[in-house]
A and B are shown apart, each in its own frame.
Chain A
Amino acid sequence: QSALTQPASVSGSPGQSITISCTATSSDVGGFTYVSWYQHHAGKAPKVMIYDVSYRPSGVSDRFSGSKSGNTASLTISGLQAEDEADYYCSLYTSSNDYVLFGGGTKLTVL
């Protein structure tokens, strides 16, 4: 069964850029097509930041971008702001098992 691996934590200073990776441990990930990223501030509703690898929902800052290479998807946040400090989760739909996997989450600290 596939799993998605994210770094436990990343940090950066205001104005800097950071990248969070999301790596599938199995090759049966259906081309890594349906990858999305969620921002979660504790106690609040999670928010989708990127869907289908690199698409931004309306209203999401263009400082957030997504990409993929092989079995790894990435979320890049440029021009870090204090409000970006949150937990970030990747998710992937696996057609082989017809369900959605989530990564373990990455805690972003803005220094």
Chain B
Amino acid sequence: EADIYQTPRYLVIGTGKKITLECSQTMGHDKMYWYQQDPGMELHLIHYSYGVNSTEKGDLSSESTVSRIRTEHFPLTLESARPSHTSQYLCASSEPTARGNEQFFGPGTRLTVL
């Protein structure tokens, strides 16, 4: 059973607010990821981490930032939210196994910026 959690599940905020989306996993995975996905569309990798104090930007340019101070925790921060940030944000973690880098996804945070 995958144990990866995201909070909040839903968030509606006004333009200009600073927000942090939380992601935690209890599987001890070194690799963690943030994806942005609009309804019915593809997943875009926006940030990833291969361990503590390691963070990299993904394929999709994003105005968000991430940190990885603890293995289990990978929060994403938007300093000043805009309507263009409205989307679903999915966090995932993985560890190399015989099934490749099988990614375990959290339930997602659906963000609406007014």
**Are A and B part of the same complex?**
no
Residues of B within 8 A of A (CB): none
Q: Chain A interface (Cβ within 8 Å of chain B)? A: none
